[in-house]
Structure 1
């Protein structure tokens, strides 16, 4: 990131005047297709898509050097089962049954990759049908369990990745997933974890994406407040069950070809098909007067449902803040926090990130539920970290 881009971004957020960035995006009737890597810079992506919070599709030219595109796919464009079996056949992978709804997701089982590939071959031979159902390999943490070297190269546009940077620092998890499945497999309607942005590369075959901009999902809620499992279901036309569906605009539809990369902005709900090859307290408020230590129970439920609670969220912000401060002081932290301007993690990116962390932390420390936590054991104390970040931002305005 250069200085001009940082100043542009800071002015953008000042102009939001307290509105959630993920809720502010221009109306769209199409998704832009980015053709050439050589003429599309980090600043182009940052200003044109990340800040406005709108999706885009990158052409296959952006991923043509990836090892997985060379080794995981046959010359005819089909999955190279032999290569996958030879290199990962004994790895146990998570597999979802797309034909069974479990809440708003699918039940999962675990099996060796070789067993899943055997199923896949039988599914194809059975004219895309199986008595075992429609099974989809989902959420395989290949890069956590194996080296990502030779599989993919992180695109510069997504190099400031707070979630994976946090988990890499803790060395316990990540949010890099592999999906594999035959025609008919799909992912139900959802928004990404923590309402983060994400990106997805299709190695072979074709995918259909259905995108709904932030806020549009509210028109899809049923009379009980629940979101649909499948936005293509005729049940959405039932005005008694879905009284708000009438004003809902049709989704943005994107067909993703082999090698192409889709940017999924923050807060955009979506549903994905393989073509070929609300508040915790509101839900449990009735127990408030009778449940001892009710607010702590809310934190437990929040973590169970969202994957994180206020205490962990503070530590998440703290780790990213410290690593960005190291960049500004020219010290290399664990995982080489300092980066060059070419990777997008130079001084300007660090300054911008610190400003965003400070704004988020400022909203956290005044939240009534956060104030109920015993923050005396936190190091540094949230107020002290916030002061350090705000002082850093003030001093960095001349950078």
Structure 2
């Protein structure tokens, strides 16, 4: 009996090229608008498994694409605005004291409004809380004894999420204040949990006595609006509020512990890669200049705020805040000048 014929070996199949889809076409346009060279882009695309000939054709066609040329026109307008901002920042930095955040007491209302509100310059006020009962009463133990039976909303499990502030609603947890106090006191330095302004606990009747511990407000504030425009902060050493800007002006008084505040002028927004809402991906503790090279041009102001001192945050200033100790803080935005502003924030999530 004859053996069955051995089938011929299959011919090797050439590896298929990765398709150059709409996502890659957008990538090409975006990176040309960033002024990446066609040569470097071709190398990246070929390394990703695409047909070199097709990539070369797409790169050449992009230079005459009418949609891309329209984008180039708008890019010129954006670059002009960025240059205006950069030049205004240069003028501000001619001030020899620009690099320092001033600490001041006994400032007149007129000087405060002209220099810091209208002049848009951060300052630490040393005498705002001089008669506040909170400075003598507030402590973690006081919170436990007086309010420990009440529920609060905290942020938790932050350490595992690099975007914990953007995703803050996902980290909300209900907990008895007494249990949270115990966790803070026993847990050491950490950024894993924090009771922040988003808890809105001061709107609860049970926490109203905390507002009674706030004494005389600065003359530039409207006391009748305090209850609606105040926030409470409590957490361990090590908590970090990442780099972002607020959409109004506020004061932030340190009651217990110290916080480190770092500021960057809103005129330097183009250096901070603000692609989503009011957040920057730059971490001032560990800036990644390979991903964010323009940040190297930014000027960072740095100050440690002690108990009893009040930071004034001007409109639009970028800031990153780190707790150096177990910290209790009180912030308020009832400033008696227009303090509602509109920002057209980007919503780009894929850069």
TM-score (norm 1): 0.52
For each residue in 1:307-336, what CA deviation from the matched residue of structure 2 results, as whole angstroms up to 9, or x when unmatched? Answer: xxxxxxxxxxxxxxxxxxxxxxxxxxxxxx
Match among 263, 283, 296 for residue 312 of structure 2: 263
Q: Does 1:51 align with 2:118?
A: yes
Any gaps of 5 or more consecutive residues in structure 2? 1-83, 327-333, 343-351
Q: CA deviation at 1:185?
A: 1.1
For each residue in 1:337-378, what CA deviation from the matched residue of structure 2 results, as whole angstroms up to 9, or x when unmatched? Answer: xxxxxx996xxx7xxx6xx99xx8xx9xxxxxxxxxxxxxxx
Q: Distance in 2 between matches of 1:210 and 1:188?
A: 10
Structure with max Cα Rg: 2
Q: CA deviation at 1:231?
A: 2.6
Q: Distance in 2 between matches of 1:114 and 1:54?
A: 39
Q: Report the equivalent of 2:181.
A: 117
Q: Report the equivalent of 1:29.
A: 99
Q: Report the equivalent of 1:70.
A: 136
Q: Report the equivalent of 2:236.
A: 182
Q: CA deviation at 1:157?
A: 4.3
Match among 159, 162, 165 for residue 99 of structure 1: 159
What SS class does the counterpart of residue 262 from structure 2 fall into? strand
- Residue 110 to residue 223, structure 1, CA distance change in 2 (3 Å): closer
- Alignment of structure 1 residues 382-393 onto 2, 5 Å: none
Residues 189, 269 of structure 1: 8 Å contact kept: yes
For each residue in 1:252-273, what CA deviation from the matched residue of structure 2 results, as whole angstroms up to 9, or x when unmatched? Answer: 0010011100000000010100
Q: Does 1:155 align with 2:217?
A: yes
Q: Does 1:232 align with 2:285?
A: yes
Q: Distance in 1 between matches of 2:164 and 2:234?
A: 20
- Alignment of structure 1 residues 234-383 onto 2, 5 Å: 234=287, 236-238=288-290, 241-249=291-299, 251-277=300-326
Q: CA deviation at 1:108?
A: 2.5
Residues 263, 301 of structure 2: 8 Å contact kept: yes
Q: Report the equivalent of 1:171.
A: none
- Residue 87 to residue 244, structure 1, CA distance change in 2 (3 Å): same
Q: Distance in 1 between matches of 2:202 and 2:187?
A: 27
Q: Distance in 2 between matches of 1:188 and 1:229?
A: 8
- Residue 154 to residue 269, structure 1, CA distance change in 2 (3 Å): farther
Q: CA deviation at 1:202?
A: 0.5
* Cα RMSD (Å): 3.6
- Residue 231 to residue 175, structure 1, CA distance change in 2 (3 Å): farther
Residues 222, 243 of structure 1: 8 Å contact kept: no
Q: Report the equivalent of 1:41.
A: 108
Q: Distance in 2 between matches of 1:344 and 1:55?
A: 15
Q: Report the equivalent of 1:134.
A: 192
What SS class does the counterpart of residue 273 from structure 1 fall into? strand
Q: Does 1:215 align with 2:267?
A: yes
- Alignment of structure 1 residues 81-96 onto 2, 5 Å: 81=141, 83-96=142-155
- Residue 232 to residue 102, structure 1, CA distance change in 2 (3 Å): closer
Corresponding residue pairs, total: 237
Q: CA deviation at 1:150?
A: 2.2
Q: Distance in 2 between matches of 1:224 and 1:179?
A: 25
Q: Distance in 2 between matches of 1:220 and 1:260?
A: 28
Q: CA deviation at 1:104?
A: 5.6
For each residue in 1:21-75, what CA deviation from the matched residue of structure 2 results, as whole angstroms up to 9, or x when unmatched? Answer: xx9893321111113x3xx22112112211101110011x331211211111xxx
What SS class does the counterpart of residue 215 from structure 1 fall into? helix
For each residue in 1:216-268, what CA deviation from the matched residue of structure 2 results, as whole angstroms up to 9, or x when unmatched? Answer: 2321218999721633224x221xx224233223x100100111000000000
